[in-house]
Amino acid sequence: MINTIYFNTHFTTSAHTLGQLPDDSIAEVAFAGRSNAGKSSAINTITRNKKLARTSKTPGRTQLINHFEVVAGNYLVDLPGYGYAKVSKSQIKHWQAALGGYLKNRESLKCLVVVMDIRHALSDYDWRLIEWATQGDAALHCLLTKSDKLSNNAAKVTLMKTAASLEEEGVECTLQTFSALKKHGIEEAHEMLDMYLPDATKKPSELPSQ
């Protein structure tokens, strides 16, 4: 079911280090993925805001931990993407340290959404993200993007194969297909977010006063 509260999501802050993360966070759902997996496009489609997360044909455009507030204390988080981004080794090392620390230690992180191009699911980098995340308390959700690049049948087969691979490794994870181009999977994504952002489903009268 579509939850229009996500269409009010707005940018609040960018953090280069973990110490710069907002301290008023109640719950966060973070999006992470290999460069050019369609992470920023997915966030923009889910929030119906084409300008919210910066998109680019240049891999590795997201270089900071970006927080977008849905309602007070409830955030969507855009994490740095890399994999084949043309950046320095020192920058990649910094990203790895920041990502690892965030995924393992951020108490308000309720769910990590691993964004994967459906044509290249479960790369070595995806497994690394999943390994980091499973060391923390956050749930996992796999978003198989660019599903429009495959036939419906091929997309379903890939979804099932990905689920089987995760289950074989003992990873508990929910999965879905998604297409920013065709606007497919938005309702399912909203239902997933509703599970982890407690105030997103409340009426305005039920929310704490600002």
Q: What is the pLDDT of residues 20-71, one digit of tens each?
A: 999 999 999 999 998 889 999 999 999 999 999 876 444 444 578 999 999 9
Domain presence at residue 63? yes
Q: What is the pLDDT of residues 175-200, one digit of tens each?
A: 999 999 999 999 999 999 999 999 99
Domain presence at residue 185? yes
Specify the pTM. Answer: 0.91
Q: Are 21 and 103 in contact (CB under 8 A)?
A: no
Domain presence at residue 164? yes
Domain presence at residue 209? no
Helix (H/G/I), strand (E/B), else coil: 179: strand
Tell me, what CATH number does 159's domain have? Answer: 3.40.50.300
In angstroms, how far apart are the furthest CA atoms of the chain? 49
Domain presence at residue 49? yes
Q: Which domain holds residue 11?
A: 4-204
As for how many domains the chain has, the answer is 1
Domain presence at residue 210? no
- How far apart are the C-alpha atoms of 128 and 24, rounded to whole Å? 28
